[in-house]
Amino acid sequence: MEKDTLKYFIYARKSSESEDRQMASIEDQKKEVEKIAGELDLNIVGVFSESKSAKAPGRKSFNEMLLRIEKGEADGIICWKLNRLARNPVDGGKISWMLQNNIIKHIQCFGRDYWPSDNVLMMQVELGMANQFVKDLSVDVRRGMRQKAERGWNPLPILPIGYLHNKDRKGKVLPEEITTDPERFPIILKLWKLMLTGGYSISDIKREGDKLGLVNHKKTPYCVHTYHKLFKTEFYYGYFMARDADGNLKRYKGRHTTMVNEKNFNKVQVFIGNYKRGTRSKSYNYTFKGLMNCGECGCSITAERKFQVRCTECSYKFSCLHRNDCPKCELPISEMESPNFIDITYYRCTKRRQRCSQKTITEEELERQYAEALKSVQIPKDFYDFMTRELKELSEKENHEEKIFIGQIKKKVSELEKRLNGLAILKADGDIDKEQYNSIKKETMSELQNLKFEIRSLEQNLPNWMGIANGYLNFALNASKVLTERDVFAKRKLLLKLGSNQLLMDRKLLFSKAKPLLSIKRCHRHYQAENSTFEPKNHLEKQGDSNGFDTCNVSVCPRVHDVRTSIQDFIKCLTRVKINN
């Protein structure tokens, strides 16, 4: 049968999977086979192409092509290579059977063709080789993935968001096989830090990710489920699952750069236990939320934002957070003439335990009251420098005295140990009997253990109040700047340092100021009083006193000790709370 009397279908296939990774693209295959058809003057009546692996049956375009050949629409097939048609026994058997039964009258490939009258063995060998190539490649790929996992690198082709397989331009794997994605890694790291604060739900994190521009390969934002899966992935703290030689899943320790440690990872798992809760947009960034309780019923104080607009047509006031028109007259906001927008944040009692008569207070008024409280503990820079210097001297002196005291106790311990050795000698010489020996030894050992315990306690608790003192002094120095802090969580932490048991009663902020702050202010008042009773240094210099007046006088020192004592009492209080918990 002559080729020019036959009708042909062109078939081109490209797989995205590993066995065809080096194969020419579909367009390249089409160009080559069209060139072959032109040189051989073949009659092309249709073109079929698809991007799908041939290692398993079920290709749509391939099956459609064979069905149309059975209907007589074409007599032959033109393809780049025979393995483009089949890499599995089922599809290979179909091609071979249709060729033997003269349904397919001719198959033309690059450099070779196949006829029904040819020896079928060679065709079966080529199709078998294509099938065996897939099987061998599968074994090699699994072995390579297992070896990669054993080296500490995740072998999966798609890594968690924020990581990339490290390859050079030629596709060669570099020593550090997994690297961080320069665009996504910083974003994911920031989302982990936000999640660790405990103030964000999965829905909130998704909104933050959208704001930061976190998108997938299609340039669309990730869904909530993807974010939940992200925070459940152990890869971010250094572990991944891969199959071992027996095909079982095994947990491997990775060598890649981690984002969090195991402790913080487990902490986040507690936060996202019920991730489907709270899909509606909520704001957790109210400045004073979580700081106060109600002075009447003891419930917590919550915040509520009222973002409203008054309709210019019917004067109806409505919330415009989730709608763009007036619910009464249905006039769109965009068509209103100079509408009056109202944006106020209120704080109120949650009233969860019982009925409560307390009313709301605006954020503006609450901020004013906090500002007054902070102003009352503000100290100037000269007093801050004086206190820092004096407390440092006291701390160094106390440390020195404590070390001397510890040395004295150690000396006594050494004497007791010598007594025990001498006691053993007395018993050996028969100067004391066994009963006397045991009695004295028991008493000495008890005293020795008590002294050693005291030494350990003293060494572990050497004066450590200086760090806390500096913290309160810095707070008092910068009290006026607390409300200007941009980070809401940092601002709340500073406001909690102002005092304990913060209450809201009759729209008034009530709380007990921290004892160290009260002591610092008392010392400051005394410092001011002492300075005002003396003439300025310049006046003294005019009278011939070249030294002037030193403000570090004796009468101020008791107040400095008072500050130190209040801080030490505060530390003891913290210690008791820690022990009780």
SS (H, E, C) 400-428: HHHHHHHHHHHHHHHHHHHHHHHHHHHHH
Q: For position 15, what pLDDT does the model report?
A: 74
Q: For position 547, what pLDDT does the model report?
A: 40
Question: Cα-flanking dihedrals φ and ψ of residue 316, to 5°?
Answer: -85, 130
Query: CB neighbours of 291 closer than 8 A, spacing ≥ 6?
Result: 301, 492, 495, 496, 502
Question: Could you report how far apart the first and last alpha carbons of the chain are, in Å?
Answer: 94
DSSP category for residue 1? -
Q: What integer best gives the mean pLDDT of the chain? A: 79
Q: Give the integer Cα–Cα distance in Å for 272 and 270.
A: 6
Q: Are 233 and 272 in contact (CB under 8 A)?
A: no
Identify the H or E element spanning 232. Answer: helix 224-232
Q: Are 74 and 64 in contact (CB under 8 A)?
A: no
Q: Are 358 and 349 in contact (CB under 8 A)?
A: yes
Q: Give the integer Cα–Cα distance in Å for 166 and 256.
A: 11
Query: CB neighbours of 476 closer than 8 A, spacing ≥ 6?
Result: 377, 378, 379, 384, 517, 520, 521
Identify the H or E element spanning 174. Answer: strand 173-180
Q: Give the integer Cα–Cα distance in Å for 3 and 39.
A: 12
Q: Are 23 and 15 in contact (CB under 8 A)?
A: yes
Bridge partners of 294, per DSSP, are 504
Bridge partners of 346, per DSSP, are 304, 362
Q: Give the integer Cα–Cα distance in Å for 188 and 192.
A: 6
Count the Cβ atoms, other than its own, within 10 Å of residue 490. 11
Q: Are 297 and 354 in contact (CB under 8 A)?
A: yes
Q: Is 172 exposed, middle or buried (0-12, 13-18, 19+ CB in 10 A)?
A: exposed
Q: Dihedral (C-alpha) 249, 253, 257, 262: value to the nearest 10 degrees?
A: 100
Q: For position 458, what pLDDT does the model report?
A: 65
Residue written as token pair 């209907």 = 71
DSSP category for residue 359? P
pLDDT tens-place string over residues 482-534:
888 877 888 888 888 888 888 999 999 988 888 888 888 887 877 777 666 54
Residue written as token pair 């002094």 = 473
Token readout for 177 is: 């096989």
Residue written as token pair 């802090």 = 485
Written as one letter, the residue type at 572 is: K
Q: Which CATH number fits domain 163-271: 3.30.70.1450, 3.90.1750.20, 3.40.50.720, 3.40.80.10?
A: 3.90.1750.20
Domain ranges of the chain: 3-138, 163-271, 381-466, 480-580
Q: Give the integer Cα–Cα distance in Å for 470 and 479.
A: 14
Bridge partners of 198, per DSSP, are none
Q: For position 568, what pLDDT does the model report?
A: 58
Largest Cα span, the chain: 132
Q: Dihedral (C-alpha) 95, 100, 102, 107: value to the nearest 10 degrees?
A: 50
> What stretches in the chain show pLDDT beneath 50?
18-22, 169, 274-282, 534-535, 537, 539-555, 573-581
Per DSSP (E only), the strands in 287-333 are 293-294, 301-310, 317-319
Query: CB neighbours of 116 closer than 8 A, spacing ≥ 6?
Result: 99, 100, 101, 102, 104, 105
Q: For position 530, what pLDDT does the model report?
A: 66
Q: For position 418, what pLDDT does the model report?
A: 79
Residues constituting the chain: 581
How is domain 3-138 classified at the CATH fold level? Rossmann fold (3.40.50)
In this chain, the answer to whether the domains covering 3-138 and 163-271 adopt an identical fold is no
Sign of the CA dihedral 197, 198, 204, 209?
A: positive
Q: For position 321, what pLDDT does the model report?
A: 67
Token readout for 558 is: 């008791």
Residue written as token pair 């008042």 = 525
Token readout for 147 is: 């070896």
Please name which of 496, 497, 563 lies closest in space to residue 524, comparing C-alpha atoms: 563
Q: For position 191, what pLDDT does the model report?
A: 93
Residue written as token pair 């160290």 = 516
Q: Give the integer Cα–Cα distance in Å for 520 and 242.
A: 60
Q: Are 116 and 99 in contact (CB under 8 A)?
A: yes
Question: 0.95 exceeded by the pTM?
Answer: no
Q: Are 299 and 350 in contact (CB under 8 A)?
A: yes
